[in-house]
A = this chain, B = another copy of it.
Amino acid sequence: MTNVYIQGIGMTKFGKFVDQSMKSLLLEASIQALEDAGNPKVDAVFVGNFMGGSISNQEILGAIVANELGLGYVPTAKVEGACASGGIALRQGIMGILSGEYDTVLVAGVEKMKHASTADVTQAINAAMDTDSNEKQAGLTFPGFFGVLANRYFYETEATKEHLAMIAMKNRENALNNPLAQFRKPTTMEEIMEARIITSPLGLFDCSPTTDGAAALIISRKKGGVHIRASAQSSGPTQMQDAADLLSLPAVRESGRLAYEKAGVSPDDIDVVEIHDCFSMTEMLAIEELGFFNKREGWLAIEQGQTKVTGGKPVNTSGGLLSRGHPIGATGIAQIYHLVQQLRGTAPNQVEGARLALAQNLGGTGSYSTVHILERL
Protein backbone atom coordinates (compact mmCIF):
# COMPACT_ATOMS: atom_id res chain seq x y z
CA MET A 1 0.00 0.00 0.00
CA THR A 2 1.23 3.49 -0.72
CA ASN A 3 -0.01 6.88 0.48
CA VAL A 4 0.15 8.23 -3.07
CA TYR A 5 -2.82 9.38 -5.13
CA ILE A 6 -3.35 10.37 -8.75
CA GLN A 7 -4.86 13.86 -8.82
CA GLY A 8 -4.61 14.70 -12.50
CA ILE A 9 -4.16 13.09 -15.91
CA GLY A 10 -3.29 14.39 -19.37
CA MET A 11 -2.65 12.82 -22.75
CA THR A 12 -2.17 13.94 -26.34
CA LYS A 13 -3.76 12.13 -29.21
CA PHE A 14 -1.46 9.30 -30.32
CA GLY A 15 -0.46 9.16 -33.98
CA LYS A 16 1.79 10.98 -36.43
CA PHE A 17 2.32 14.67 -35.75
CA VAL A 18 4.80 16.20 -38.16
CA ASP A 19 4.28 19.73 -36.88
CA GLN A 20 4.87 18.88 -33.25
CA SER A 21 8.18 18.45 -31.44
CA MET A 22 8.85 16.09 -28.56
CA LYS A 23 8.80 19.14 -26.33
CA SER A 24 5.43 20.41 -27.56
CA LEU A 25 3.80 17.00 -27.07
CA LEU A 26 5.31 16.68 -23.60
CA LEU A 27 4.11 20.14 -22.59
CA GLU A 28 0.60 19.56 -23.97
CA ALA A 29 0.10 16.43 -21.87
CA SER A 30 1.74 17.99 -18.79
CA ILE A 31 -0.41 21.14 -18.92
CA GLN A 32 -3.54 19.00 -19.23
CA ALA A 33 -2.55 16.93 -16.19
CA LEU A 34 -1.77 20.06 -14.16
CA GLU A 35 -5.12 21.63 -15.07
CA ASP A 36 -6.93 18.39 -14.32
CA ALA A 37 -5.36 18.43 -10.85
CA GLY A 38 -6.26 22.09 -10.26
CA ASN A 39 -2.75 23.43 -10.92
CA PRO A 40 -1.08 22.42 -7.65
CA LYS A 41 2.47 23.38 -6.67
CA VAL A 42 4.76 20.72 -8.14
CA ASP A 43 7.87 19.59 -6.22
CA ALA A 44 9.58 17.42 -8.84
CA VAL A 45 9.30 16.17 -12.41
CA PHE A 46 10.11 12.73 -13.81
CA VAL A 47 9.96 12.08 -17.55
CA GLY A 48 9.94 8.63 -19.15
CA ASN A 49 11.60 8.62 -22.55
CA PHE A 50 13.62 6.10 -24.52
CA MET A 51 14.99 7.35 -27.85
CA GLY A 52 14.94 11.14 -27.59
CA GLY A 53 18.74 11.29 -27.59
CA SER A 54 19.24 9.00 -30.54
CA ILE A 55 16.56 10.09 -33.02
CA SER A 56 15.62 13.60 -31.87
CA ASN A 57 18.96 14.76 -30.38
CA GLN A 58 16.96 15.83 -27.33
CA GLU A 59 17.72 14.93 -23.73
CA ILE A 60 17.25 17.13 -20.58
CA LEU A 61 13.47 16.70 -20.90
CA GLY A 62 12.96 17.10 -17.16
CA ALA A 63 14.59 20.53 -17.07
CA ILE A 64 12.74 21.59 -20.22
CA VAL A 65 9.37 20.82 -18.61
CA ALA A 66 10.31 22.59 -15.38
CA ASN A 67 11.46 25.69 -17.26
CA GLU A 68 8.65 25.92 -19.78
CA LEU A 69 5.95 25.42 -17.14
CA GLY A 70 7.57 27.85 -14.75
CA LEU A 71 7.92 25.27 -11.99
CA GLY A 72 11.03 26.93 -10.56
CA TYR A 73 14.07 25.11 -9.22
CA VAL A 74 12.32 21.74 -8.82
CA PRO A 75 14.46 18.59 -9.22
CA THR A 76 13.81 16.69 -12.43
CA ALA A 77 15.12 13.63 -14.24
CA LYS A 78 14.56 11.53 -17.29
CA VAL A 79 14.14 7.84 -16.57
CA GLU A 80 14.94 5.09 -19.08
CA GLY A 81 14.05 1.42 -18.97
CA ALA A 82 13.36 0.73 -22.67
CA CYS A 83 9.61 0.42 -23.32
CA ALA A 84 9.00 0.41 -19.55
CA SER A 85 10.44 3.92 -19.21
CA GLY A 86 7.01 5.38 -18.39
CA GLY A 87 6.16 2.85 -15.70
CA ILE A 88 9.59 3.21 -14.14
CA ALA A 89 9.31 7.02 -14.18
CA LEU A 90 6.00 6.72 -12.32
CA ARG A 91 7.69 4.47 -9.79
CA GLN A 92 10.43 7.07 -9.17
CA GLY A 93 7.75 9.69 -8.59
CA ILE A 94 6.01 7.45 -6.09
CA MET A 95 9.28 6.76 -4.25
CA GLY A 96 10.02 10.48 -4.21
CA ILE A 97 6.75 11.01 -2.33
CA LEU A 98 7.20 7.97 -0.07
CA SER A 99 10.69 9.25 0.82
CA GLY A 100 9.23 12.46 2.21
CA GLU A 101 11.23 14.60 -0.22
CA TYR A 102 8.22 15.61 -2.34
CA ASP A 103 4.50 16.15 -1.79
CA THR A 104 3.36 16.48 -5.41
CA VAL A 105 5.12 15.19 -8.51
CA LEU A 106 4.53 15.56 -12.25
CA VAL A 107 5.28 12.29 -14.04
CA ALA A 108 5.21 12.41 -17.82
CA GLY A 109 6.20 10.17 -20.70
CA VAL A 110 6.89 11.06 -24.30
CA GLU A 111 8.22 9.69 -27.57
CA LYS A 112 8.50 11.13 -31.07
CA MET A 113 9.14 8.40 -33.64
CA LYS A 114 7.27 9.11 -36.86
CA HIS A 115 9.76 11.65 -38.23
CA ALA A 116 12.56 9.07 -38.40
CA SER A 117 13.11 6.35 -40.98
CA THR A 118 12.08 2.77 -40.19
CA ALA A 119 15.76 1.82 -40.24
CA ASP A 120 16.67 4.53 -37.73
CA VAL A 121 13.77 3.63 -35.43
CA THR A 122 14.59 -0.09 -35.62
CA GLN A 123 18.21 0.68 -34.76
CA ALA A 124 17.14 2.89 -31.85
CA ILE A 125 14.79 0.20 -30.53
CA ASN A 126 17.62 -2.32 -30.68
CA ALA A 127 19.39 -0.28 -28.00
CA ALA A 128 17.00 -2.21 -25.71
CA MET A 129 19.10 -5.33 -26.30
CA ASP A 130 22.57 -6.08 -24.96
CA THR A 131 25.03 -4.84 -27.59
CA ASP A 132 27.71 -7.23 -26.34
CA SER A 133 25.45 -10.28 -26.79
CA ASN A 134 25.82 -12.64 -29.72
CA GLU A 135 22.03 -12.53 -30.19
CA LYS A 136 22.04 -8.84 -31.00
CA GLN A 137 25.20 -9.15 -33.06
CA ALA A 138 23.57 -11.97 -35.03
CA GLY A 139 20.68 -9.68 -35.91
CA LEU A 140 17.88 -10.58 -33.52
CA THR A 141 15.11 -7.98 -33.49
CA PHE A 142 12.07 -7.53 -31.26
CA PRO A 143 9.58 -8.96 -33.77
CA GLY A 144 12.06 -11.83 -34.16
CA PHE A 145 12.10 -12.46 -30.42
CA PHE A 146 8.34 -12.45 -29.96
CA GLY A 147 7.86 -14.40 -33.21
CA VAL A 148 10.01 -17.21 -31.78
CA LEU A 149 7.90 -17.16 -28.62
CA ALA A 150 4.70 -17.39 -30.67
CA ASN A 151 5.96 -20.40 -32.60
CA ARG A 152 6.97 -22.07 -29.36
CA TYR A 153 3.55 -21.30 -27.87
CA PHE A 154 1.85 -22.91 -30.84
CA TYR A 155 4.13 -25.94 -30.38
CA GLU A 156 3.34 -26.38 -26.69
CA THR A 157 -0.39 -25.62 -26.86
CA GLU A 158 -3.26 -25.94 -29.28
CA ALA A 159 -3.19 -22.21 -30.01
CA THR A 160 -2.89 -20.97 -33.58
CA LYS A 161 -2.27 -17.73 -35.40
CA GLU A 162 -6.03 -17.13 -35.16
CA HIS A 163 -5.77 -16.70 -31.39
CA LEU A 164 -3.18 -13.98 -31.85
CA ALA A 165 -5.49 -12.39 -34.42
CA MET A 166 -8.31 -12.43 -31.85
CA ILE A 167 -6.13 -10.38 -29.50
CA ALA A 168 -5.29 -7.92 -32.27
CA MET A 169 -8.96 -7.74 -33.27
CA LYS A 170 -10.14 -7.12 -29.70
CA ASN A 171 -7.68 -4.26 -29.22
CA ARG A 172 -8.58 -2.88 -32.64
CA GLU A 173 -12.26 -2.86 -31.69
CA ASN A 174 -11.55 -1.23 -28.35
CA ALA A 175 -9.60 1.56 -30.03
CA LEU A 176 -12.59 2.41 -32.22
CA ASN A 177 -14.17 4.05 -29.17
CA ASN A 178 -11.00 5.77 -27.90
CA PRO A 179 -10.68 9.26 -29.38
CA LEU A 180 -6.97 9.41 -28.48
CA ALA A 181 -6.06 6.11 -30.18
CA GLN A 182 -3.81 5.94 -33.23
CA PHE A 183 -5.89 3.40 -35.18
CA ARG A 184 -9.65 3.86 -35.37
CA LYS A 185 -10.44 2.17 -38.64
CA PRO A 186 -12.78 -0.85 -38.54
CA THR A 187 -10.78 -3.98 -39.34
CA THR A 188 -11.81 -7.57 -40.09
CA MET A 189 -10.33 -10.86 -38.91
CA GLU A 190 -9.55 -11.60 -42.56
CA GLU A 191 -7.47 -8.43 -42.90
CA ILE A 192 -5.57 -9.31 -39.74
CA MET A 193 -5.01 -12.95 -40.73
CA GLU A 194 -3.92 -12.08 -44.25
CA ALA A 195 -1.75 -9.05 -43.47
CA ARG A 196 1.87 -9.14 -44.55
CA ILE A 197 4.14 -11.12 -42.27
CA ILE A 198 6.64 -9.18 -40.15
CA THR A 199 8.23 -12.22 -38.47
CA SER A 200 6.33 -15.45 -38.91
CA PRO A 201 3.79 -16.01 -37.45
CA LEU A 202 3.42 -12.32 -36.52
CA GLY A 203 1.71 -10.22 -39.17
CA LEU A 204 1.39 -6.45 -39.36
CA PHE A 205 -1.56 -6.30 -36.94
CA ASP A 206 0.29 -8.45 -34.38
CA CYS A 207 2.92 -5.73 -33.99
CA SER A 208 2.56 -2.38 -32.24
CA PRO A 209 3.21 0.64 -34.47
CA THR A 210 5.62 3.54 -34.18
CA THR A 211 3.83 6.52 -32.67
CA ASP A 212 4.20 10.15 -31.58
CA GLY A 213 2.57 11.04 -28.28
CA ALA A 214 2.81 11.99 -24.64
CA ALA A 215 0.92 11.39 -21.41
CA ALA A 216 1.24 12.86 -17.92
CA LEU A 217 0.07 12.40 -14.34
CA ILE A 218 0.02 14.50 -11.20
CA ILE A 219 0.60 12.31 -8.17
CA SER A 220 0.44 13.51 -4.60
CA ARG A 221 0.40 12.46 -0.99
CA LYS A 222 -2.85 14.42 -0.64
CA LYS A 223 -5.67 11.91 -0.35
CA GLY A 224 -8.19 12.02 -3.18
CA GLY A 225 -8.59 10.99 -6.78
CA VAL A 226 -7.32 7.50 -7.53
CA HIS A 227 -5.23 5.59 -4.99
CA ILE A 228 -2.00 3.93 -6.12
CA ARG A 229 -2.47 0.83 -4.04
CA ALA A 230 0.79 -0.80 -5.13
CA SER A 231 3.88 -0.11 -7.24
CA ALA A 232 6.23 -2.95 -8.10
CA GLN A 233 9.09 -3.45 -10.51
CA SER A 234 11.23 -6.44 -11.47
CA SER A 235 14.10 -7.23 -13.80
CA GLY A 236 14.36 -10.28 -16.05
CA PRO A 237 16.85 -11.75 -18.52
CA THR A 238 18.25 -9.32 -21.10
CA GLN A 239 18.99 -12.18 -23.49
CA MET A 240 16.75 -14.85 -24.99
CA GLN A 241 19.41 -17.49 -24.36
CA ASP A 242 19.16 -16.83 -20.63
CA ALA A 243 15.44 -17.66 -20.48
CA ALA A 244 14.76 -20.80 -18.48
CA ASP A 245 11.42 -21.13 -20.29
CA LEU A 246 10.71 -19.34 -23.56
CA LEU A 247 7.04 -19.06 -22.62
CA SER A 248 7.76 -17.24 -19.39
CA LEU A 249 8.43 -13.55 -18.77
CA PRO A 250 9.87 -13.76 -15.24
CA ALA A 251 9.92 -9.98 -14.76
CA VAL A 252 6.19 -9.80 -15.50
CA ARG A 253 5.40 -12.69 -13.18
CA GLU A 254 7.54 -11.37 -10.35
CA SER A 255 6.39 -7.74 -10.62
CA GLY A 256 2.79 -9.00 -10.59
CA ARG A 257 3.39 -11.20 -7.57
CA LEU A 258 5.00 -8.33 -5.67
CA ALA A 259 2.23 -5.91 -6.60
CA TYR A 260 -0.53 -8.29 -5.46
CA GLU A 261 1.34 -8.87 -2.21
CA LYS A 262 1.82 -5.14 -1.57
CA ALA A 263 -1.80 -4.37 -2.45
CA GLY A 264 -3.20 -7.32 -0.52
CA VAL A 265 -5.30 -8.42 -3.48
CA SER A 266 -5.36 -11.35 -5.89
CA PRO A 267 -5.65 -11.47 -9.70
CA ASP A 268 -9.34 -12.29 -9.26
CA ASP A 269 -9.94 -8.94 -7.56
CA ILE A 270 -8.78 -6.90 -10.58
CA ASP A 271 -11.64 -5.37 -12.59
CA VAL A 272 -9.81 -3.90 -15.57
CA VAL A 273 -6.32 -4.31 -16.97
CA GLU A 274 -3.89 -2.51 -19.29
CA ILE A 275 -1.15 -4.85 -20.45
CA HIS A 276 1.98 -4.22 -22.50
CA ASP A 277 0.87 -5.76 -25.83
CA CYS A 278 3.87 -4.66 -27.90
CA PHE A 279 2.94 -7.79 -29.85
CA SER A 280 -0.25 -9.83 -29.67
CA MET A 281 1.93 -12.66 -28.37
CA THR A 282 3.16 -10.49 -25.49
CA GLU A 283 -0.44 -9.97 -24.31
CA MET A 284 -0.96 -13.74 -24.45
CA LEU A 285 2.00 -14.40 -22.15
CA ALA A 286 1.30 -11.47 -19.83
CA ILE A 287 -2.30 -12.48 -19.04
CA GLU A 288 -0.88 -15.83 -17.96
CA GLU A 289 2.10 -14.46 -16.04
CA LEU A 290 -0.11 -12.04 -14.12
CA GLY A 291 -2.21 -14.96 -12.93
CA PHE A 292 -5.42 -14.06 -14.71
CA PHE A 293 -5.36 -17.41 -16.50
CA ASN A 294 -3.36 -20.62 -16.14
CA LYS A 295 -0.04 -20.96 -17.88
CA ARG A 296 -0.46 -22.10 -21.51
CA GLU A 297 -4.24 -21.55 -21.28
CA GLY A 298 -4.41 -17.85 -22.16
CA TRP A 299 -5.48 -18.79 -25.70
CA LEU A 300 -8.57 -20.52 -24.31
CA ALA A 301 -9.58 -17.38 -22.41
CA ILE A 302 -9.06 -15.37 -25.60
CA GLU A 303 -11.19 -17.83 -27.55
CA GLN A 304 -13.92 -17.49 -24.94
CA GLY A 305 -13.81 -13.69 -25.10
CA GLN A 306 -12.92 -13.36 -21.44
CA THR A 307 -10.58 -10.40 -22.05
CA LYS A 308 -13.12 -8.39 -24.04
CA VAL A 309 -14.80 -5.36 -22.48
CA THR A 310 -17.84 -7.57 -21.94
CA GLY A 311 -15.80 -10.50 -20.58
CA GLY A 312 -14.87 -11.25 -17.00
CA LYS A 313 -11.38 -9.78 -17.23
CA PRO A 314 -11.28 -6.85 -19.67
CA VAL A 315 -7.75 -6.29 -21.01
CA ASN A 316 -6.58 -3.23 -22.96
CA THR A 317 -9.93 -1.51 -23.17
CA SER A 318 -7.98 1.53 -24.45
CA GLY A 319 -6.90 -0.39 -27.54
CA GLY A 320 -3.54 -1.30 -26.05
CA LEU A 321 -0.19 -0.67 -27.65
CA LEU A 322 -1.41 -2.46 -30.78
CA SER A 323 -4.13 0.08 -31.55
CA ARG A 324 -3.89 2.99 -29.10
CA GLY A 325 -0.30 3.21 -30.31
CA HIS A 326 3.11 2.88 -28.65
CA PRO A 327 5.07 6.12 -28.23
CA ILE A 328 7.61 4.22 -26.17
CA GLY A 329 8.31 6.50 -23.20
CA ALA A 330 4.64 7.54 -22.98
CA THR A 331 3.12 4.06 -22.98
CA GLY A 332 3.42 3.28 -19.28
CA ILE A 333 1.83 6.63 -18.42
CA ALA A 334 -0.92 6.28 -21.06
CA GLN A 335 -1.92 2.97 -19.46
CA ILE A 336 -2.43 4.77 -16.14
CA TYR A 337 -4.28 7.62 -17.89
CA HIS A 338 -6.80 5.17 -19.29
CA LEU A 339 -7.21 3.22 -16.05
CA VAL A 340 -7.83 6.42 -14.10
CA GLN A 341 -10.60 7.15 -16.60
CA GLN A 342 -11.97 3.66 -15.93
CA LEU A 343 -11.94 4.25 -12.17
CA ARG A 344 -13.52 7.69 -12.61
CA GLY A 345 -16.22 6.06 -14.74
CA THR A 346 -15.39 8.22 -17.77
CA ALA A 347 -13.48 5.78 -20.00
CA PRO A 348 -14.19 4.79 -23.55
CA ASN A 349 -15.28 1.13 -23.22
CA GLN A 350 -16.18 1.79 -19.59
CA VAL A 351 -16.18 -1.31 -17.38
CA GLU A 352 -19.18 -0.82 -15.11
CA GLY A 353 -18.32 -0.48 -11.45
CA ALA A 354 -14.56 -0.89 -11.90
CA ARG A 355 -12.85 -0.48 -8.54
CA LEU A 356 -9.43 -2.11 -8.92
CA ALA A 357 -7.27 -1.72 -12.00
CA LEU A 358 -3.86 -3.07 -12.98
CA ALA A 359 -1.28 -1.68 -15.41
CA GLN A 360 1.72 -3.71 -16.59
CA ASN A 361 4.53 -2.09 -18.60
CA LEU A 362 7.32 -4.16 -20.21
CA GLY A 363 10.81 -3.17 -21.32
CA GLY A 364 13.21 -4.97 -23.65
CA THR A 365 12.81 -8.69 -24.25
CA GLY A 366 11.48 -8.99 -20.70
CA SER A 367 14.30 -7.03 -19.06
CA TYR A 368 11.96 -4.76 -17.11
CA SER A 369 8.39 -4.95 -15.91
CA THR A 370 6.42 -2.60 -13.71
CA VAL A 371 3.01 -3.33 -12.25
CA HIS A 372 0.82 -0.66 -10.68
CA ILE A 373 -2.47 -1.46 -8.97
CA LEU A 374 -4.93 1.44 -8.79
CA GLU A 375 -8.02 1.74 -6.64
CA ARG A 376 -11.12 3.91 -6.80
CA LEU A 377 -11.56 5.63 -3.45
Q: Which residues of B contact A124 (CB under 8 A)?
A: 53, 57
Q: Which residues of B contact A129 (CB under 8 A)?
A: 60
When the two chains form the complex, which single residue of B23, B76, B96, B368 contacts A95, counting CB atoms closer than 8 Å?
B96
Closest Cβ neighbor of A257 among chain B residues: B73
Taking a contact as CB atoms under 8 Å apart, the answer to whether A67 and B98 are in contact is no
For window 119-152 of A, CB contacts with B under 8 Å fall at 123-124, 126-132
Inter-chain CA distance A63–B369, complex, in Å, is: 11
**Contact indicator per residue, chain A 75-90, by CB within 8 Å of chain B (1) or not (0):** 1111111100000100
Say yes or no for A51: interface residue by CB 8 A criterion. yes
Inter-chain CA distance A130–B368, complex, in Å, is: 29
Inter-chain CA distance A78–B128, complex, in Å, is: 12
Taking a contact as CB atoms under 8 Å apart, the answer to whether B73 and A60 are in contact is no
Closest Cβ neighbor of A72 among chain B residues: B235
Taking a contact as CB atoms under 8 Å apart, the answer to whether A368 and B235 are in contact is no
Inter-chain CA distance A72–B254, complex, in Å, is: 10
Taking a contact as CB atoms under 8 Å apart, the answer to whether A234 and B75 are in contact is yes
**Contact indicator per residue, chain A 6-25, by CB within 8 Å of chain B (1) or not (0):** 00000000000000011110
When the two chains form the complex, which single residue of B56, B63, B79, B364 contacts A63, counting CB atoms closer than 8 Å?
B364
Taking a contact as CB atoms under 8 Å apart, the answer to whether B21 and A132 are in contact is yes
Taking a contact as CB atoms under 8 Å apart, the answer to whether B131 and A57 are in contact is yes
Q: Which residues of B contact A99 (CB under 8 A)?
A: 94-96, 98-99
Say yes or no for A54: interface residue by CB 8 A criterion. yes
Say yes or no for A62: interface residue by CB 8 A criterion. yes
Q: Could you tell me the distance in whole angstroms from the C-beta of A61 to the nearest C-beta in chain B?
A: 8
Inter-chain CA distance A368–B131, complex, in Å, is: 29
Taking a contact as CB atoms under 8 Å apart, the answer to whether B53 and A81 are in contact is no
Say yes or no for A66: interface residue by CB 8 A criterion. yes
Q: Which residues of B contact A127 (CB under 8 A)?
A: 52-53, 57-60
Taking a contact as CB atoms under 8 Å apart, the answer to whether B59 and A82 are in contact is yes
Taking a contact as CB atoms under 8 Å apart, the answer to whether A123 and B57 are in contact is yes
Q: Which residues of B contact A364 (CB under 8 A)?
A: 60, 63
Taking a contact as CB atoms under 8 Å apart, the answer to whether B131 and A58 are in contact is yes
When the two chains form the complex, which single residue of B50, B60, B92, B98 contacts A81, counting CB atoms closer than 8 Å?
B60
Say yes or no for A268: interface residue by CB 8 A criterion. no
Stretch at the interface among A205-213, A236-244, A311-319, A336-344: A236-244
Taking a contact as CB atoms under 8 Å apart, the answer to whether B88 and A81 are in contact is no
Closest Cβ neighbor of A364 among chain B residues: B60
Taking a contact as CB atoms under 8 Å apart, the answer to whether B368 and A63 are in contact is yes
Q: Could you tell me the distance in whole angstroms from the C-beta of A323 to the nearest C-beta in chain B?
A: 26
Inter-chain CA distance A82–B76, complex, in Å, is: 11
Say yes or no for A186: interface residue by CB 8 A criterion. no
25 pairs, CB–CB < 8 Å, chain A vs chain B? A21-B132, A22-B131, A52-B127, A53-B54, A53-B80, A57-B127, A59-B80, A59-B82, A59-B127, A59-B128, A63-B367, A64-B367, A66-B235, A74-B235, A75-B88, A75-B91, A75-B234, A77-B88, A78-B80, A79-B79, A92-B92, A92-B95, A95-B99, A98-B99, A98-B100
Given A23-B132, A73-B234, A77-B92, 20 other A-B residues pairs in contact with their CB atoms under 8 A:
A21-B132, A50-B53, A58-B127, A59-B128, A60-B82, A60-B127, A60-B368, A63-B363, A63-B368, A64-B130, A64-B367, A67-B235, A71-B235, A73-B236, A73-B255, A75-B233, A77-B88, A78-B80, A79-B80, A94-B99
Q: Which 3 A-B pairs have the closest CB atoms?
A: A98-B99, A63-B367, A75-B233
